[in-house]
Amino acid sequence: MRHHALPNKTVIVGAGGHAKVIIDILRADTHVELIGCLGQHEGNKVMGLAVLGGDEQLPLLYAQGVRHAFIAVGNNERRRKLAGYAESIGYELVNAISPRAYIAANVTLGSGVAVMPGSVIQPDTTVGSYSIINTGATIDHDGVIGEACHIAPGCTLSGNVSVGDLSFLGTGTKVIDGMRIGAGCMIGAGAVVIRHIPDHALAVGVPAVVKRIQASIEPNVSRRET
């Protein structure tokens, strides 16, 4: 007689709009049993899932036998920080991959990755841990997406495009083949990238022009795209 493995008890870290999409995706995953969310307003519900308290609940839930988590926070830096914290406790970060996304052969995904409905990831592409490939975004062959990136809805990346860690590509960004976008960049919505973008650059427009080099991504900006 074959024994089926029980689904993994999983907590969602986050209780905003991004968490709603993640909950919707993970409810379609038979390997996952969602036990609740962590957020600011304990007692509220997100998509019918109870908010159990704040991030301080992570060690307690782990002690109670919850071993899996997903960090559903739109801000790249905060998402990577929370992911590291959860992993330091011992959590395994699951991936949230919509059954309505297309992931080709030889695609490599890290842990804690979100791949939203309508997105396409083509062959020999690598997506780093904690990154978001948002609704309808497409990444063509041989792409390299770094850690804790956010490729916002409707972005189009041609082949051989690389994006550095913690970079944010706003809604509808288009990138021609072979471009390198550095680490910690912010590309404004609707930009068209036809030249390499250096690390920590803010670039906007058609074609995209670097407006300034910044020390880090501005807080909370990426949440507008969740």
One-letter amino acid identity for 27? R
CA of residue 96 relative to chain centroid, distance: 9
Q: Domain for residue 2, yes or no?
A: no
Exposed e or buried b for every residue in 181-197, given b needs 16+ CB within 10 A? bbbbbbbbbebebeeeb
pLDDT band at residue 43 using 50, 70 and 90 as cut-offs? confident
65 is in an annotated binding site: no
The amino acid present at 96, given as its one-letter code, is A
Known binding residue 74? Answer is yes
The whole model's pTM is what? 0.92
- The number of folded domains in the chain is 2
3-class secondary-structure state, position 144: strand
Judgement on whether residues 187 and 111 belong to the same structural domain of the protein:
yes
pLDDT tens-digit readout, 196-220: 999 999 999 999 999 999 875 444 4
What are the distances in angstroms from CA 95 to CA 25, 87, 132, 180?
10, 14, 10, 26
Radius of gyration of the chain measured on its C-alpha atoms: 17
pLDDT in tens, 107-155: 999 999 999 999 999 999 999 999 999 999 999 999 999 999 999 999 9
Asked if residue 222 is part of any domain, the answer here is no
Is-contact 195 207, C-beta < 8 A? Answer: yes
Residues 64, 119, single domain; the answer is: no
Which amino acid is present at 77? Answer: E
Which are the catalytic amino acids? Answer: 141
Percent pLDDT > 90 in the chain is: 89
